[in-house]
Structure 1
């Protein structure tokens, strides 16, 4: 396999590790035992014990080490690497990598911890071997890690890696994929392209009313609610972690008028963009460990 498509490593001697907050170029799965704090978008999580972490390429994050004796394993990979397996046709559709989900899975069962450690050891072994089908083996091990994470939250969902079966599920997945392709926003002078229900309906070749009914059925929210919530999630990140003006953020997120951006932001967060920035810039929300 190409060296820049996949990398596996053992985690140890992290006392001198300096965290870097930002978006990453690769997907990441880590198994870590020890005290640490993860900063993920506009949230943070204090962790102890053994946890699985899933980092995606769209959400900025960093990992702060709080204990010298932190150990574990990690792997980094491109989306193209996983696309070699049929069940990983769309990495972003997997809930463990979804921007809206908490990316940390606490492992408490000793048997499961032993199993996940064994899986990472096999990944390291196969990644360094010369078996011609080792890529397929590594992809299979990553698939098992995804299921172990879902299992740790007692999520009885056998369709996670299965193709969408109904028309509404397929349309909903296509819509969410199209929405997410616009993020992260990295150029304040360039506005995102799709911001209105008609924009997405036109791209999908269906009527806006039908798309709205589909989204309401699958998510419990209207299409405009889903669009605005995703855009405001990006706005929170930009307000906290860039020096862009509020007008620049409003423009790059597709708002024609600054006042409209203020209105939508306040409706969703309860704060104006300026108050939000003053309150949370340079800080992180602390979320109790049992949420993880």
Structure 2
């Protein structure tokens, strides 16, 4: 484990820290897994956050992927999704092939319709990422689309990034269609409040990770960010999710605490201080009430083997 989770603001920073590759853009890139240098592949002990959405289409090989509190055993042909607020870690990589697609929030929000990506593609909203096994036909179609984006990105076409934006939208809709039988919540006009609420929570932890957040995460804080009264916000979310806003805030705070206890060597007291609890005792009481065991016991049970 490492002291804290590394945070990369853009693709340039993340590539510079792990490999000799140069990204094609700070905001959008697509690589073949097999192009990633062995030095980067061997760097499997360091969890990190990257300010980008990531889609991995694996066509061959196997590895372990930890996303926040979930460890996925990826073998053969699979498709996975992660988001900027996820803590990620790759382990035990063996002969992987396929494509790895990156795009930052800045890339999708440069156009007015960019907000619909966050609202429409709910597989980016999950707490621990999402893994999906496409059929051979779906895999072939998605692979062709990624290959077309890969080739276009490496041309000198003056409008290639505008074109890639539209290619990306088509690709994500194809992913949505392929996953249509899964129980992924679908978006609609009434989802605006929950989407904004989730985005406020995720922005909080991204800013906290940058060292730019000096307030604890509370219902009052989130309601102020959304310019809504806490009671009104809670009633809206209760209608949409069955849970109050306070419950959702506590769940997200616990998820972050669990991720830090599992993926770093920060002491329990350091995690409490980092998350702006008044003291270690207050944090331990909150954690035990939510999880059922102490932070120290959780860490012991959640230790991830590195073999």
Structure 1 residue corresponding to 2:294, chosen from 272, 276, 292? 272
Mapping 1:226-265, distance limit 5 Å = 226-265=248-287
Write the deviation string for residues 162-217 of structure 1: whole angstroms up to 9, x where unpaired.
Answer: xx634xx32332222112111144378x7652522222223333322111101111
Against the structure 1 CA distance between its residues 6 and 155, is the aligned structure 2 distance closer, same or farther, given a 3 Å change threshold? same
- 2:110 paired with 1:88: no
| Aligned residue among 22, 47, 54 for 1:21 | 47
2:64 counterpart of 1:37: yes
Q: Distance in 2 between matches of 1:28 and 1:225?
A: 28
Check conservation: 1:39, 1:61, Cα contact below 8 A. yes
1:228–1:264 contact (8 Å) kept in structure 2 = no
Q: How far is 1:151 from its partner?
A: 2.8
Q: Distance in 2 between matches of 1:177 and 1:159?
A: 17
Which structure 1 segments of 5+ residues have no match? 285-292
2:136 aligned with 1:104:
no
Distance (Å, rounded) in 2 between the aligned partners of 1:9 and 1:187: 27
Q: Could you tell me which of 187, 198, 214 is aligned with 2:220?
A: 198
Name 1:120's counterpart in structure 2.
146
Partner of 2:238: 216
The aligned counterpart of 2:174 is: 148
Unaligned runs of 5+ in 2: 1-22
Range with bigger deviation, 34-43 or 20-29: 20-29
Report deviation, 1:12.
Answer: 2.0
Output aligned runs, 1:62-81, within 5 Å: 62-68=89-95, 70-81=96-107
Distance 1:13 1:191, change over 3 A: closer
- SS of structure 2 residue aligned to 1:195: coil
Taking the aligned partners of 1:120 and 1:187, their CA distance within structure 2 comes to 32
State the partner residue of 2:209.
186
Q: 1:264 to 1:149 in 2, by over 3 A?
A: farther
Alpha-carbon shift at residue 15 of structure 1 (Å): 9.3
Number of equivalenced pairs: 276
Identify the residue that residue 290 of structure 1 maps to in structure 2.
none
What is the rounded CA distance, in whole Å, between the counterparts of 1:95 and 1:15 in structure 2?
Answer: 32
Query: What are the superposed Cα offsets for residues 111-158 of structure 1, whole Å, 9 maximum, x if unpaired?
Result: 111110110111012212233332232122222332333333325889
Instruction: Name the residue aligned to 2:156.
Output: 130
TM-score between the two structures when normalised by the length of structure 2:
0.78
2:25 match: 3
Q: Which protein has the bigger helix share?
A: 2
Cα distance between partner residues in 1 of 2:79 and 2:260: 27
CA change 1:2–1:283 in 2 (3 A) is closer
CA distance in 2, matches of 1:215, 1:250: 27
Q: Which runs of 4+ in 1 moved over 6 A?
A: none
After superposition, the CA RMSD in angstroms is 2.9
Structure 2 residue 206 is matched with structure 1 residue 172: no
Partner of 2:209: helix, strand, or coil?
Answer: coil
Structure 2 Cα separation of the partners of residues 126 and 33 of structure 1: 21
* 1:58, distance to aligned residue in structure 2 (A): 1.8
Deviation at 1:230, TM superposition (A): 0.4
Q: Contact (CA 8 Å) 1:211, 1:223: kept in 2 or not? A: yes
